[in-house]
Structure 1
Amino acid sequence: MKTMMRAAALSLVLAAAAAPAAFAQTAPATGADAVFRATTLNLSAYGETKLAPDMATISLGVSTEAATAQAAMQANATQMNQVMAALKRGGIAAKDIQTSQLSVEPQYVYEQNQPPKLNGYRATNQVTVTVHDLSKLGQAVDATVAGGANQVGGISFGLEDPTAAENAAREKAVKALAAKADLYAKATGHRVLRLVSLNEGSSYSPPQPMPMVAMSARFKEADTAVSPGEVRVRVDISGLYELAR
């Protein structure tokens, strides 16, 4: 009986001693754990292309004042119809003319220590015009000013289809990112093992319109000359690289 009990006790001791060895085995590393244990580079770069624009957008309109809101609107409608006719004569299709603002506001005279005094109404009608043929841009601008447009909000140039320019910028961005990764790797005594992830940020956005004051001064000149220059297409990217010795 005592011999059996001693055997059982010995068996338990051996089992307990074996247990820690079994649990001491390391579980296989997951993908996330492997990334965190690796030496990595988190970098950003950009690519940019420049090319001539093939379209333009103009903001222009008519502002009129009268004693009543109705009279201001009627005068505005008459003058705006002349502007629209001038745009069409300048080769602008109706589909490329879009109303962007239409408003009537009371006008007040303010004097010190006196309540505001109503001084009439101002009606404003603004349109956004898209010009697909830049050779007609100056002609269209001159025609609208001659037709009665007295507000010019600005002009911006752009691309009908920026896809090709964006792709060229992407290729430049990737090359710049890879070159930067190689530089950091060599400087730290490593080599680039692989690209873990790649993210794209912002891409093409057309330039902001020129301010109204500057454009109005230019549009008052005869035979307005318009210089489209170049538009820039930029793509920003970021990437995570894994390094190795």
Structure 2
Amino acid sequence: MRTFPALLLSACLAAPFALPAAVAAQQVQQQPQITVTGEGEAAAAPDMATISLGVEVDGDTAAAAMDGASDVVSRILDRLEGFEVAPRDVQTSSLSLDPLRTGREGETRPRIDGYVARNQVTVRVRDLDQVGQILGAVLEDGANTLGGLDFAVADPDPLIDEARRAAVADARAKAELYAEAAGVRLGRVLRLDEVGGMPRPMPMAEMRMAADVPVAGGETGYSAQVSVVFELLQ
């Protein structure tokens, strides 16, 4: 029974500190506010391209198929070295060897009629004027598969930041318009959230052509979206 006064005293001392925080939170929720979504974009010409290319070779034996693919890839690597593509920008992305099976009427099991070897290489090209020339050259060297061609900006951070600033500015412009139309003033930012995670790259319309094999580099852009809660003042 002697502990009750101590517990009562603790509760009385804690109550005055808890009350202002609760009141402040309630006031924030009750004050007039507006939530708007802003969108921003930023674009620049790409300065790097990634090419996925390779070769597919058939052979009577597994060794013959693999040797044929290896010979072509060796010529491709020599060609890339001639274009001064750095070794760090060339990587084997896929290597496979599979039997070629055929089935005939009356046979219970498919027969192996040969083998196919596939070797895929990913190349980063930092001089975009060489993209078309490289594609044309490796085709002459025996490349017969093209897995993709992507253009990018080596350092996208400045573009991403520009898109974010544009998104926040767009949100503020919308909020100011709504506040003016409603006859109130725009106050401070109460909350700001980036919607959808990291700003994402987007395709742009402009074209850029390279020699030999025509390719369109265009522009590389990023878009960002934010949700902003503004205070409204009378």
- TM-score, normalised relative to structure 2: 0.78
Structure 1 pair 67–35 and aligned structure 2 pair: CA distance change class (3 A)? farther
Aligned residue for 2:59? Answer: 66
Count of paired positions: 208
2:109 matches 1:120:
no
2:124 matches 1:130:
yes
Structure 1 pair 38–223 and aligned structure 2 pair: CA distance change class (3 A)? same
Mark the runs of 5 or more structure 2 residues left unpaired by the alignment: 1-14, 204-209
The alpha carbon displacement at 1:206 in A equals 6.7
Structure 1 pair 88–38 and aligned structure 2 pair: CA distance change class (3 A)? same
Identify which of 158, 162, 167 aligns with 1:168: 162
Aligned residue for 1:106? Answer: 99
2:208 matches 1:203:
no
Equivalent residues of 2:35, 2:227 under 8 A apart: yes
Aligned residue for 1:211? Answer: none
The alpha carbon displacement at 1:136 in A equals 1.5
Aligned residue for 1:225? Answer: 214
Larger radius of gyration: 1
Aligned residue for 1:16? Answer: none
Aligned residue for 1:234? Answer: 223
Structural RMSD (CA): 2.6
Mark the runs of 5 or more structure 1 residues left unpaired by the alignment: 1-22, 208-218
Equivalent residues of 2:201, 2:220 under 8 A apart: no
For 1:113 and 1:205, the matched residues in 2 are separated by 55
Identify which of 66, 73, 83 aligns with 1:90: 83
The alpha carbon displacement at 1:178 in A equals 0.1
SS at match of 1:205: strand
The alpha carbon displacement at 1:177 in A equals 0.7
The alpha carbon displacement at 1:63 in A equals 0.9
Structure 2 residue identity aligned to 1:144: V
Structure 1 residue identity aligned to 2:52: S
The alpha carbon displacement at 1:113 in A equals 8.3
Equivalent residues of 2:99, 2:113 under 8 A apart: yes
- TM-score, normalised relative to structure 1: 0.75
Q: Percent identity?
A: 39
The alpha carbon displacement at 1:110 in A equals 5.0
Equivalent residues of 1:162, 1:204 under 8 A apart: no
Equivalent residues of 1:86, 1:143 under 8 A apart: yes
Identify which of 186, 204, 219 aligns with 2:180: 186
Equivalent residues of 1:192, 1:244 under 8 A apart: yes
Aligned residue for 1:79? Answer: 72
